Amino acid sequence: MLYIKLLVCFCLMFASNLAMADDSNRHLQVDGMSVYLGVIPAQLTQEHPKMHGGGADREHRYHVMIALFDSKSGARITDAKLKATVSQLGLAGITEVLEPMRGEPLSYGNYFTMRKPELYRIRVDIQRGKGGEKSVANFVFRRPRD
């Protein structure tokens, strides 16, 4: 039951980001795909601490989520493999596989540490299907103050 509540919370938060995506830097058009970025504090997922192998330490951790849609048809893309690299601007970052999240509609996500309230670059490498070409989406995200 807690998982369902958490999923509903994510969907509502993600949907609000999608509604404002065209007016923000959380939506990109890349190689025929609409790529949407969602970032929420890990504390909001504390009821489900094992998601994506997340540990007990949630301070300065954020759940990065990506939703993919075909630009022409609007259909959700569910056959992709994604990895993301999160780094402060100008510094090396950490790369993690973005795992498919359970439930419908399918999104991809994982946890990343963002210690300082500064600008972060989120590079998402996307590969559709087996042997498909790799696409790259680059986002800039400002981590809010604690």
**pTM for the whole structure:** 0.76
- pLDDT tens-digit profile of 60-109? 899 999 999 999 999 999 889 999 999 998 899 999 999 998 766 789 99
- The domains located in the chain, with CATH, are 2-142 (2.60.40.3340)
Only one residue has tokens 């973005």, namely 98
Q: What DSSP line would sit under 29-75, residue for residue?
A: EETTEEEEEEEEEGGGGTTSTTGGG--S--TTEEEEEEEEEETTT-P
Higher pLDDT, residue 105 or 39 = 39
